[in-house]
Structures are given as C-alpha cells and as structure tokens.
Structure 1
Amino acid sequence: MKKILFFAGALMMFPLCTIAQKSPVYELYKQKYPDAHAVRLLEERKIDISLEDNEILITQDIFEEDLYLDKAATYGSKRSINYSSFFDIESVEASSLLYENGKYNELEVKDFVEKDEMDQSFYDDSKSINFIYPSLQPGAKSKLKYRERIKNPRFLNSFYFADFKPIVKSKVTISVDKNISLKFKEFNTEGVNINFTEKEKRGKRIYTWEANDIEEYDLDSGAPNFRNTFPHIIPIITEYKSGNDNVKLLDNVSDLYGWYYSLVKDVNTEEADEELKKIVNILTQNKKTNLEKVKAIYYWVQENIKYIAFEYALGGFIPREANDVFNKKYGDCKDNSSILFKMLDIAGLKGNLTWIGTRSIPYKYDEVPTPAVDNHMILTYLEGDNAYFLDATGRYIPIDMPSSFIQGKEALISINEKDFVIKEVPVIDAKRNSIIDSTVIKIEDKIIKGKGKFRLSGYPKIDFYNALEIEKSEKGLKDVYTKELRKGSNKFLVDEFKEINKYDYDKDFIVEYTYNIDDYVNSLEDETFINLNLNRRISGLKSKKDRKNDREYRYKLNEKCKIILEIPDSMVAAYVPENFSTSNDFFSCSIKYTQEENRIVYEMDIDQNFILLTLDQQKELNKLVKKVEKNFKEVIILKDKK
C-alpha cells in the first residue's frame, strides 16, 4: 500500500458548516436510540480461504458504515486500522457522507499516515494506518472499506456481533476451499438472534452468519473483559489437503503445542555466559534443597531483569537467548522465562516453558486450540505433585504464588518435544492475602491518639510494595501511609512510622505507626460517645443497583481490624454493643466486642472469598454489606465516674 504523508488538517476534525437538514435515516435512528452517540448501520466481513500451491491464502474484505447522532461525531473523526507482520493491509478506502439538499454527498479521505504501535505484551510489532473523517457532524455518515491479508492461517480473526454502539446489521461470510477443514466455536450467542446458513458454490463451502438490530453493549466498571460478554465466533482451520496428504493445523491442543514447541526448541542452545554461570553458582551455593535454589534464582530475575515489551513478527512467540537477556538486563515475558529456564539449567534443574492466558481471555485450550487462547508466557517448576508458576515480569511475587492475573487459568506446560501437561493455576486463598491492622487508642479531649501495627501478606503486600517504590521521600511515604491506613475520618494523620521487612518476598510487611484523629469523640453532659468502627472500606464492595455485568476482583482477601480502647481512669463503660456476624457461601463479616477491665477490645474479621461475582451474587452481597453498615452505627458509651 502506498504511503501518504500526513496532512495536518486540524480543521478537518470540525464541521465546515451547519446543516439544518436531517436525513430520514437519522430521524429514524435518533428516535430509536435517543441515548446513543452513533449507530453502526452495517458491519460486514467477507473472508476467502483458498488453497494455492499447497499453501493457504486468506483475505478479508471489511466494510463499516456508521451514522452519527449527536455532537460527539467530531470525536469519532479520528480512526485507525491496526495490523502487524501477521496481517497486511492491502487497500483502504474511507469517506464521510454529509446530508445536503435531500441527499448524501461523499467526501473521500485523502490523507493517511502509518505509525508503529507498541502497547501489547505477548506479540507486539503492531502498526496502524491513521486518518480523519472530514466534517463529521450530527446526521453525517462514515464509510470504511479495507482488505486485509492474513499471512499465517493460525491467526484467523474472531468476529463479534456486538459493539459499544447499536448495530443495525452485522454479517460475516466465510468462503473456504473444499480441501480445507474448518470448525467454529461460538461464545455468548445464547439469546442472540443470529441467522446461520451453509451452502456450496463453485467448489467452495460458504458459511454466513447474520444478526440484525443488536442493542449496544455497556460494560460496568470492574466488569470482566468484553470477550466474556460480547457474542462472537472463532473460526479455526483444523487441517488441509496437500497433495495426497492431510496436514494438521489446529484441530486440537497437540497441534497448537507442536507449533509452539517448534518456535522454542532451538532457543538457548548456545553455551551460557560465564558471568551468568558465576551468578547462578553464588545464588545456589548455600541452598540445601532444589526449591531453595529455584527460589533464589527466581527472585534474582525479578529484581534484576526489567520487564519491557517490544516484539517483532514471530519474535512475539520466540524467546530471546538467555545470554542476550542477561547482557541487556531487560526482556518481555518470554525473555524472562528464557533466562529463568537457562539459569535453572545451569543449576542442574529443569524448568518448563509455559503458555498461559491472562484472565482477560476466557477460553480453555480444548475449546480454542489457537493462539487466541493465550497471551503470556511464564516458567513452571514441577516438583512431585507441586507446580510452581514463575512469572518474573512482576516484582515481589513469592515462589508459591502465581501473578494475580493468571489465577484460575489453564497453563500449557512443555515437557519435551511431544509431551505437555495442562494444569490449572490455583486461586490463592483469602487467608493468604491478608490485611491485619491492630491498634491501641486513647481519648484525649475529643482527639483519638493511637499506636498501631499494620501487617500485609500476599497480593496486598505486593500492591503496597509497588506503591512504595514510587515514593522515596519521608513526606511522600507519610502521605502514602496516611492514605492507606486512614480510619475514622479524613482528619486521620500518621505521626510516625517504622517499616519492617520492607520489600521482603517471603515475610509479612509490617508498619508500626502512631496517629491521631482530631474531633472524633462526642460528649454530652457526663457521657462520651465513640464509634470503634474506624475502618469502613467494606462499603466499597457494594454494587450499583443498575449494574448490568458480573464484577471481577483481582484476588480474594481477608481483612482483620483490632482496636483496643483504653478507658480513661475517670470513666466507666456504660454501654458496649452486642456482637454481630453475617455470612453466606462467599462472604463473611463478624464484629466482636470484649470488655477486659479498663479496656474494650473491638475485632472485625472480613472474608472476601471471591474473585468474580454474578449479578445475583452482587445483589446478595449488597444485602450483607448493608447489614454491616447498619451495625457501623453502634457506639460505645463511656460515663464519668461519680
């Protein structure tokens, strides 16, 4: 495709004139979708899969026509088409259509610019063609037509029958040579009226899917990835006939693994760098067990190899040599796995390259045995029945915990050229991800003076470490702790703090601190009122009543809060609230009050035993949280001694 220099026509972003007339099609869809910014009148994809000289050739003709319903049209003027070394864009046509004098007049896009895109992690040699639709305004249309050539048949695209705007007509047609076998996987199509037809014509099988009048999809904050919701199909080329032979492509997981293994089998065949050998020997020399050796190497890679994602072509699937990664001190997920693999090998240990999808990808390997099933690589260390999923792209991840975004996912673990295993990554128990805050407080006038110990483990600890890395100054750290430890009211202030086990991978992180909360205690005549429910973060678990989607959380969590109130010598406890608890299968909260001589001990224990909640479960959780919030109104009453 011919490159054209970008014309900096900023005025093209805005209407050149005000059009009073509105077309009948605008009036129709403005009335039908009054809240929509735009409507997709047609989305059509025609895919041709042919066999020439025993090679599969795939082209896609894509056509989009949009109608703009309000002033947001100007923001839709900018458009880009992404491609990479796996996909070529062979032609592009784009235009705006403005309604004047009872008809639409077409303005062609003349200026296109190509640029690199570098924002993906697994394979990223992405480029884009960028352009601006001229003079878009309410009532205008845009048309886009382009041809895409898919170079590798394993990367046949998914097709979605939904968008974040209404779609009037969505259609995909696949014409495939009779010597090519194709299968289809459907997702989220229940309840969607999709008309499917199949026929043969001129030596080809032709499959067509068509859906009409599709409402816009809207994802709430915290909803799972759109792949979990949008109706879509994934076509898969399983095999094809080459001469008299049938060539397997992606019929099952073994086919996918065979291709993956062919890409990594020749990696790290060269002799390891002498300096790298020396480091491995130093790391492992005093370790008594193999697991201790693996741990030392794993933590070293996390700390010393910076994660940077930059890929080109099959480099998005082939790890770089460990020596190269070691010398540069950076790499992507595959490169980090490569150097881990080599360092374990130097230590006489076996690591297993592992392909895995993050939680943004909902498919299982036997459902979709194509590269669409995963987007990440780690290293697995197998010891007996135990599997340790080592992801060195992060920092501070202990050896017995996976990175949070692969919990519950299937891992495709390489054993050798022919053999592999699929294991499910565990979801870490809430008790392992704990936030424990224990404080002793005194009342001085209307001020609370407190001394506390804050303890973190698991994923909350990792999150906290990452936040602390940003702040280096004493004042900045104090601001972080004032925000994260806040309790009672926004008048909470940390006075002093001491950090223990900071950045340690295996030990709990502890912060000892002192604080004050001004103007928190209320008094009336001879009675003093104090609410010990200082931590009310649980309220953030409630979902809005109009929520439409499931809600995803990064990890399960256990949170404990213990507050010891020292009763002043001049007072006695006149009222202590009753204990409270509420629970179901995935959530529990208990609040306990205990009086011990001149002290009242408050203990709150919360278990969030979930990482995904359906709409019904969210409603159930809302009810429980409201019960807790009602209990938050309980106060302790202290009375002056007579």
Structure 2
Amino acid sequence: MKKILSTLILLLFIFYDFKCYSQDIHLKSIKETIEIKEDSSFINNISILFKKSNKPRFYPIFYDTELEKVSDIKLFIKKRRRDKPIYIKKIYEEDAKLEYITSKKIKYVMIPADKEIKLSYSVSCKELMYFSSLPFFSYNQIDTLSYKIKVAKNFELAHNTIYKESIPYYKIDSTKTNTNSVWNIKVVPQKVEPDPFQFFGVYKNMRNPLMRIIVTPDSYKNRPTNYINDWYSEKVASKKGLNYQVKQKIDQLTINIEDPSEIINIIYNYVKNNFKYVAIEVGMGAFIPTHANAVYLNKEGDCKDLSNFLSEALRYKGIKSDIALAATFDHISDCDFPSLSSANHVIAVAYINGKVILLDPTDSIHREGTPVESLQDRKILIVNSNGGVFHTVKSFTPEENTILYQLELKEDNTNIKGTFYTSYNGISGNYLKRRIKGKKEEELRDFENTFYEEIFRNQSVSNLELLNVEKLEYKGDISISSKSFDDGENKYLFIDFLPRIIETENREILMEGINLANPFRKKVRAKVKINEPIKDFESKIYNYKEKGISLKVIIKYISELEIECNYDFILNHIYIDKENVGKANDILKLFKKIINEPIILKKQKS
C-alpha cells in the first residue's frame, strides 16, 4: 500500500512541476448534464466556468479508456451573455497506467490567463453501472456545482446522499414527462484537501458528502438490490469454474477430511499463505475478477480475484459459498446502499448449518468464524441466487478483546525493577501481529523490544520472550529509572511508567478520523514492593464513565511493604469521530494527570 501511495504522490509532483497544474483553482461553476439513454449507455456533458487568473492553468480530465470516451473539448471566452469560441493552444495527454492502476488516461487542457474562460467537453460510457455516484466535494473552490440527470422512461433512478449535513447549500428536485424523468441538483460543494487516490475515484479515509446512485431498468422497479445482485452475478459467471489441475490440488489438500469447518480452514489458509496480493484497479476492474483458474495459475490477485477463487474451491468441495461486496473502515461510505460507489472490497462467505462464515483472503491473520477486522459494524452485500442480501458484520466486544498487563516490581533506591507479563485476547493483538509477521529473528527481537519500551514510556525492557504466537503472550524484565524519591519522612512514587492506554497511537491527543481497529478492554495490574515499611492509607479511586468509554484507576495499600496500582479501561468504539473524540481525549488527559502526580507514602517511624 505504501508503494501505491508513493507512486500516486509522485504523479501529483508531475502535475505540479511539469504541467504547472495547481489544485487550488477558483471556479465559478461546474455544470454536468448526465443523460441515460434507452440502450443503457449514458453521456455526461460538462461545462466549467473559470474565474480570471494572471497565469495560465492546466485543467486535468481523468477518464477510463476501457469504459469512457472524451470528446468535443472546447474553450470559450465569456463575453456578457455570449460565449466566443477560442482556439485551444495545447491539450496534453498521458497514460495514468501505474503499476497498480490500469486503463486511466489524463487530458490536460491549457486554460488561458487574463480572461473568464469556459471549458466544455463530453464523456460517454456504455456501462450504465459505472454511473454510481455524484461527489459534492472538490479540491477547487467552486461557487456552484450543478447536476442535471435525464433518465429515459424505461429506467428508474434511486439515490442516497451521505454526510449531507456538511454541504453549505443543497437543493434537489425532479420532474417526470412522457419520455423521461429529470433530476436537478444544485450544491455549494465542500472543499477538501487534495489526496492523490481521489483522482482515481478511490475515496480513502474521507467523511465527505457523496450521492450514491443506481439506475435500474423498469423490470427492477423498486428492487435496486436485486438489480445490482443480478448484474454482478452475470458479470462474474464467466469467471467461475475450476479445471482438472485446480481440482486435483484441492483434493490433495483435503484428502480424507469430511468436516466442513476443517475443509474451510485448510483451503482458506492455503489461499492466504500461498497467493500474493497485488493490484488496485479502478472502473469495472475494481469489481470484476480474473478467472479462478488464472488466479490459481499465477498464484496472485486482489480481493475480488482471491475471494472468487476461494469461493469456487469451497463450492467444489460441496460447501455453499458466495462472494460479497463490502466497504472497509477507510471507505467513504458503508455498503448499505446498492451502488458500486458503496463498496471498495470483495470477500467470500461460506455457510455451515445456516451460519454465515466470513472469509477475507487478503487479511493474512483473520480467522474464519470471527468478524473481519476491517469490516466490523459494516454491511456487506452478499451476491447470491436469491437476489442478494445485506448482512451486518458484527463487532468484537471489548471483553472479547481484553489486553492484560501484570507487573511484579520492586523498589531499588530511586529505581524500580521487576518483571511483566502481557496477553492479548480476540483481535486486540492484531496491530502487533501484523508488524511481527514475517520478520527475521533478530529484526523481530529489536522490534518487540522497541515496541514495549515505548508502551512503558521509554523504560528499559530486556529478556523479552514470546510465550504464545497465536494468542500473543509475552514476558520480560523491566528496569524503571528515577521514579522513587525520599525526603526522610515520606516516599514519593511516580507511576507514569504504567503502560499507555492505547497501544496503536503514540499521540497525546486523538484526532477525528482515527481508526483504532477494534473495541478493547485493557486491564493493568502492577504490584510494587517498597524497600522500607510504609503506613496504611485509604485507597485512591478515580472513575470516569461515559457512553462507550470508561476508566477506573485504583491505587491501594496491600501491606507495609507493598502497594498495588491498577487501571481498567474500556473502549467500545472503533472510530474516533466528532461524537466521541472529546470524551476520548478527556479520558487521556485524566489518566495523564493521575499518573504524573506522585503517590505520597508516609514511612513508618523506627
């Protein structure tokens, strides 16, 4: 993924440096008129009005060479109520055929300086399903964004707008005639920061307004889910079926095994461990897989390829299986509306005794029978012979994802030394598992030591040992410097070495949009032996509780030579958003305040 992002950023630099292209162009208006034709093709006529600028600009037109045709590019000078055609000095064209994105081209149109300029062009497409969304956001400052959608009478348009509340102005109306229906939409779009992925319609980590659209034939009136299900089933049908070589391999893997659960486990792990994940594609290539036999032959593919192959392999062994469209945590929308813009991922599902078993062959540490980490609390559209069905992926509970720390410590002058043990249940250790997977022994040891030293706020960790790879259990020694002081009458103990609450984030303040991967409960139990007797004291208890988040800290007297410092943190959120960011940060500030204040221990008199 880093390689993909680096390539796209490089492409952006090409735009800036060689084409003098600036994303921050101020546009008076963009008008798009989309006409759905009776043969199920559509054409988009686009008109863009540029404000005056003292420099020429290049405006990019991105299009898919396999699906779209760009034509009738024209420039005009705006003269009051009249548009005067002008000669286009230059149109650059280049492939955007990167290693991971295919079939995209870019045309750059030079927009002259010192004049109010209008650019118009048309984009035609034969695949109606490709008309799946209207963005209500832009990199550029746009005063008015208008869409007119003309739908032939034998079709029906269904739509759903997400994050509508963030649009400064939004108006929509529709009319119906004997020949078509017409939808008029006018918005003041939200201005967003540039992201190279978005040039290709890959909306990652965005919470911006978007209208999801599906246009269905009359025969599917009020049944958009059935339409996208049947359309996708038809497209994928030619990519199914296994040859003798593949069947022979699957039989070898599952010889003498009859238990469906065990068969699923074997084939699932075979695909995850022996097939390479490659490619991010746009257009129809993002959804229509390569034939299952070719995926086996090449031992590689992306989510749709691997999921289709896995599903076919399971079907061959008599296990009912389908593939499903899905939206991962970083996609702009949930997959709760039947439009291709709702999904950015494909997984396989299997069924045992009526139970849906999720299978994501691109997630190397996922276990069948559990929720897929990136799809928790999200919907998937299972494509099947019954017209398709939406299915909600359950989330792990915090209790299922308990992280436990146990520390046995002893005061040694101003230092504290001892041992620690930690274990991760459920998927609470996935963050760590992904980072240790495939590392060589020496590299792994260095990483693990550094990781836990950061968790203990830069204290020294040694003799670290991984006790259980599957569950993730560690033990090790810890040496904590300069945390105990003595003034003769009192001892002052600082406990800011306690493991930080959120292991996946180093930052002190959480920002909106952070994905914490899973709900979790973190229990820390730290016993500290004191090197001289102390007086009994009343336990210090700190409680913080809000919806979906809580913290309890207890500092208590055990004996004249021992105290215990415990905390219990529960987070039942996967995302940090505007609803919970304040509560999360309040709890982090409270915890920091508690551990930064010294515990005052009164010494017993001799």
Worse-matched range after superposition: 520-529 or 422-431: 520-529
Tell me, in whole angstroms, the C-alpha distance in 1 between the residues paired with 2:322 and 2:238: 14
Displacement, 1:154?
1.6
Is 2:26 aligned against 1:13? no
Distance 1:518 1:143, change over 3 A: farther
Tell me, in whole angstroms, the C-alpha distance in 2 between the residues paired with 1:578 and 1:305: 54
1:34-49 matches, cutoff 5 A: 38-49=25-36
Distance 1:88 1:485, change over 3 A: farther
Instruction: Tell me which residue corresponds to 2:454.
Output: 486
Could you tell me which amino acid in structure 1 is paired with residue 66 of structure 2? S
Instruction: Tell me which residue corresponds to 1:60.
Output: 44
Indicate which of 123, 127, 150 corresponds to 1:148.
123
TM-score, with structure 2 as normaliser: 0.81
Decide whether the 8 Å contact of 1:325 with 1:339 is kept in 2.
yes
Distance 1:155 1:37, change over 3 A: closer
Is 2:464 aligned against 1:497? yes
Instruction: Tell me which residue corresponds to 1:210.
Output: 186
TM-score, with structure 1 as normaliser: 0.77
Displacement, 1:426?
0.5
Could you tell me which amino acid in structure 1 is paired with residue 157 of structure 2? L
Tell me, in whole angstroms, the C-alpha distance in 2 between the residues paired with 1:8 and 1:530: 57
Distance 1:133 1:404, change over 3 A: farther
Instruction: Tell me which residue corresponds to 2:574.
Output: 611
Indicate which of 527, 538, 559 corresponds to 2:522.
559
1:92-171 matches, cutoff 5 A: 92=73, 108-119=89-100, 125-129=102-106, 131=108, 144-171=119-146
Decide whether the 8 Å contact of 1:298 with 1:340 is kept in 2.
yes
- Identity rate, percent: 18
Instruction: Tell me which residue corresponds to 1:443.
Output: 411
Is 2:396 aligned against 1:428? yes
Tell me, in whole angstroms, the C-alpha distance in 2 between the residues paired with 1:84 and 1:428: 42
Instruction: Tell me which residue corresponds to 1:586.
Output: 548
Tell me, in whole angstroms, the C-alpha distance in 2 between the residues paired with 1:8 and 1:400: 46
Tell me, in whole angstroms, the C-alpha distance in 2 between the residues paired with 1:525 and 1:77: 75
Decide whether the 8 Å contact of 2:358 with 2:368 is kept in 1.
yes
Tell me, in whole angstroms, the C-alpha distance in 2 between the residues paired with 1:95 and 1:405: 48
Task: For residues 73-92 of structure 1, give each alpha carbon's deviation from its aligned partner in whole angstroms, at most 9, with x where no partner exists.
Answer: 99x86845142523233354
Decide whether the 8 Å contact of 1:184 with 1:233 is kept in 2.
yes
Displacement, 1:472?
2.6
Tell me, in whole angstroms, the C-alpha distance in 2 between the residues paired with 1:135 and 1:574: 82
Tell me, in whole angstroms, the C-alpha distance in 2 between the residues paired with 1:446 and 1:344: 62
Displacement, 1:514?
1.7
Indicate which of 179, 194, 201 corresponds to 2:170.
194
Displacement, 1:424?
1.0
Displacement, 1:8?
11
Decide whether the 8 Å contact of 2:461 with 2:479 is kept in 1.
yes
Worse-matched range after superposition: 187-196 or 433-442: 187-196
Distance 1:518 1:479, change over 3 A: farther
Task: For residues 520-545 of structure 1, give each alpha carbon's deviation from its aligned partner in whole angstroms, at most 9, with x where no partner exists.
Answer: 3333335432223422345978767x
Instruction: Tell me which residue corresponds to 1:260.
Output: 232
- Would you say how many aligned residue pairs link Structure 1 and Structure 2? 573
Distance 1:426 1:96, change over 3 A: farther
Instruction: Tell me which residue corresponds to 1:243.
Output: none
Indicate which of 588, 599, 606 corresponds to 1:636.
599
Task: For residues 603-637 of structure 1, give each alpha carbon's deviation from its aligned partner in whole angstroms, at most 9, with x where no partner exists.
Answer: 21111011245534333444444433332244334
Instruction: Tell me which residue corresponds to 1:182.
Output: 157
Worse-matched range after superposition: 600-609 or 308-317: 308-317
Instruction: Tell me which residue corresponds to 2:217.
Output: 239
Task: For residues 116-158 of structure 1, give each alpha carbon's deviation from its aligned partner in whole angstroms, at most 9, with x where no partner exists.
Answer: 1454xxxx5341215485898xx99886543211221122142
3-state SS of 2:347 partner: strand
Decide whether the 8 Å contact of 1:85 with 1:125 is kept in 2.
no
Is 2:346 aligned against 1:377? yes
Distance 1:85 1:107, change over 3 A: closer
1:208-607 matches, cutoff 5 A: 208-212=184-188, 216=191, 229-239=207-217, 247-248=219-220, 251-273=223-245, 277-278=248-249, 280-283=251-254, 285=256, 289-309=259-279, 316-359=286-329, 360-365=331-336, 368-415=337-384, 417-469=385-437, 471-472=439-440, 474=442, 477-490=445-458, 492-502=459-469, 504=470, 508-525=471-488, 527-533=490-496, 534-537=498-501, 552-568=515-531, 570-572=532-534, 578-597=540-559, 598-607=561-570
Displacement, 1:159?
1.9
Displacement, 1:386?
2.6
Task: For residues 206-243 of structure 1, give each alpha carbon's deviation from its aligned partner in whole angstroms, at most 9, with x where no partner exists.
Answer: 4322235x5645799xxxx7897534434432225xxx
Task: For residues 562-616 of structure 1, give each alpha carbon's deviation from its aligned partner in whole angstroms, at most 9, with x where no partner exists.
Answer: 2121222x34356575122221220111122344343322221111011245534
Tell me, in whole angstroms, the C-alpha distance in 2 between the residues paired with 1:277 and 1:635: 68
Displacement, 1:278?
4.6
Worse-matched range after superposition: 389-398 or 189-198: 189-198
Worse-matched range after superposition: 470-479 or 300-309: 470-479
Displacement, 1:394?
1.3
Q: Which runs of 5+ in 2 are unaligned?
A: 1-13, 79-85, 196-202
Decide whether the 8 Å contact of 1:78 with 1:131 is kept in 2.
yes
Decide whether the 8 Å contact of 1:227 with 1:361 is kept in 2.
yes
Displacement, 1:310?
5.5
Q: Would you identify which runs of 4 or more consecutive aligned residues in structure 1 move more than 6 Å?
A: 94-97, 139-143, 225-228, 539-542
Decide whether the 8 Å contact of 1:165 with 1:215 is kept in 2.
no
Tell me, in whole angstroms, the C-alpha distance in 2 between the residues paired with 1:636 and 1:199: 72
Distance 1:351 1:45, change over 3 A: same
Tell me, in whole angstroms, the C-alpha distance in 1 between the residues paired with 2:286 and 2:204: 24
Decide whether the 8 Å contact of 2:29 with 2:50 is kept in 1.
yes
Task: For residues 165-215 of structure 1, give each alpha carbon's deviation from its aligned partner in whole angstroms, at most 9, with x where no partner exists.
Answer: 542111112233344433443444457533445457895544322235x56
Tell me, in whole angstroms, the C-alpha distance in 1 between the residues paired with 2:21 and 2:146: 31
Distance 1:400 1:323, change over 3 A: same
Tell me, in whole angstroms, the C-alpha distance in 2 between the residues paired with 1:141 and 1:451: 72
Distance 1:618 1:202, change over 3 A: same
Root-mean-square deviation (CA, aligned residues, Å) is: 4.1
Could you tell me which amino acid in structure 1 is paired with residue 187 of structure 2? A
Could you tell me which amino acid in structure 1 is paired with residue 319 of structure 2? L
Tell me, in whole angstroms, the C-alpha distance in 2 between the residues paired with 1:430 and 1:606: 10
